[in-house]
Amino acid sequence: MTTEHRLGKELGRPGHSADVPPVLRIAPGTGERIAFQTDDAVYRELHEHGDLARLQAPLNPVTGPVYVEGARPGDALAVTIHEIRLTDTGWAMSLPGVGALRERMPDRVVTRRIPIDADGVHLTDAVTVAPRPMVGCIGTAPASGVASTVMPAHAIGGNMDVTDIAPGATVYLPVEVEGALLAIGDVHAIMARGESSFVAIEAEGTVVVSVDVVPGLALRAPRIATADEWIFVGLGATVQESVRRGYEDAFDAFVERGWDAMDAYTVMSALAHSELGGPTGAVDPDPLHPFDAIGAVTLHRVPRALLDGEPSPAAGDGAAAV
């Protein structure tokens, strides 16, 4: 029977920091699972009183952190998501001054409780959809300071709001401190790519993961492996810089596997799809406008068949079906 370590939502707090003592120590690669319970208290409060100034619960707390034995700076932490267990309630909201449609929505808090049951996620009385649970916020501790769990997204992860961080995916995170110090929060019952409102169908949930360490895999941004794709996360002060950095990381992955540079560039131009990621940006926001993103999170998708398995043949030799 697989061991499962349960971490309750009372262990959640905002921000990723090396100053927070670990609540669990675990050996990597054992198959043992960690169940991170996440919290939705801030949305329940807003639903009750609709006043941002009266909030007491933290926004986007992350549960943890977990110390992974043997994880050292310059390694990568591989976090495989096995399951996300939802409760019976989700939340949709419009917050004043927040989201892509702030000019179209009222200048006040508008909330909606979203029932979740065996029939699905009840977005409206007429629209019910199957849940697609995902993790909005996952990360390790930065070498110094505190990495926000609201915005921006960071090299170590944080609030990326990437829909692919879901059961079956493995998230690779840079390790900047001994033990990595993994923390997870911000579960969504379902979220459209981009999250136009900045508050998708937020929900309390339990994220069940296992962890491993990849020695010497020095990443400058997270990457995600799904059943079909490698997803390279780009982070930059402009959309263009974010796209370039994500493309560079994907290109380097080809070259490190023995691909000829022009072969890699040719294949990427045909098969590496790019898109905007979540709404959190990649640079600290203006403190007077803390929900206004600066920079961008971008995603760059490469078929796994191209990067997994045997190294590429020499330039111009052979063929691979994708």
DSSP-derived pairing of the beta strands 62-68 and 24-26: parallel
Q: Is the pLDDT of residue 26 over 70?
A: yes
Inter-CA distances, 285 with 4, 52, 150, 281, 305, Å: 38, 19, 10, 8, 38
- The torsion of the CA quartet 93, 205, 71, 24, rounded to 10 degrees, works out to 120
Inter-CA distances, 314 with 261, 296, 310, 317, Å: 11, 36, 12, 6
pLDDT digits (tens, 9 = 90+) for 235-274: 999 999 999 999 999 999 999 999 999 999 999 999 999 9
Cα–Cα distance between 153 and 175 in angstroms, integer?
A: 15
Q: What is the 3-state secondary structure (H, E, C) of 123-170?
A: CCCCCEECCCCEEEEEECCCCCCEECCCCCCECCEEECCCCCCCCCCE
pLDDT digits (tens, 9 = 90+) for 192-223: 998 888 899 999 999 999 999 999 999 999 99
Q: Is the pLDDT of residue 79 over 70?
A: yes
Average pLDDT over residues 307-320: 58
CB 197 within 8 A of CB 214: no
Q: Is the pLDDT of residue 314 over 90?
A: no
What integer pLDDT is reported at residue 310 of this predicted model? 61
Residue closest to 172 by CA, chosen among 144, 140, 147:
140
Q: Is the pLDDT of residue 316 over 50?
A: no
What integer pLDDT is reported at residue 291 of this predicted model? 84
What integer pLDDT is reported at residue 289 of this predicted model? 84
What integer pLDDT is reported at residue 2 of this predicted model? 82
Burial status of residue 200 (CB atoms within 10 A of its CB: 0-12, 13-18, 19 or more): buried
Q: Is the pLDDT of residue 161 over 50?
A: yes
CB 23 within 8 A of CB 67: no
Q: Which residues contact 7 (CB under 8 A, 6 or more apart)?
A: 23, 24, 34, 35, 36, 37, 63, 64, 66
Cα–Cα distance between 322 and 315 in angstroms, integer?
A: 18
What integer pLDDT is reported at residue 312 of this predicted model? 53
What integer pLDDT is reported at residue 38 of this predicted model? 97
User: And the tokens for 209?
Assistant: 């993961």
What integer pLDDT is reported at residue 82 of this predicted model? 98
Write down how long the chain is: 322
What integer pLDDT is reported at residue 290 of this predicted model? 84
User: And the tokens for 223?
Assistant: 């990457």
Q: Is the pLDDT of residue 111 over 60?
A: yes
Mean of per-residue pLDDT scores for the chain? 94
Residue closest to 137 by CA, chosen among 163, 158, 164:
158
Q: What angle do CA 202, 155, 15 make, to 5 degrees?
A: 50
Q: Is the pLDDT of residue 179 over 60?
A: yes
pLDDT digits (tens, 9 = 90+) for 60-71: 999 999 999 999
Amino acid at 79: V
Cα–Cα distance between 142 and 174 in angstroms, integer?
A: 9
Q: Which residues contact 173 (CB under 8 A, 6 or more apart)?
A: 76, 77, 79, 138, 139, 140, 156, 157, 180, 182, 219, 222
What integer pLDDT is reported at residue 315 of this predicted model? 44
pLDDT digits (tens, 9 = 90+) for 279-313: 999 999 988 888 888 999 999 999 999 999 765 55
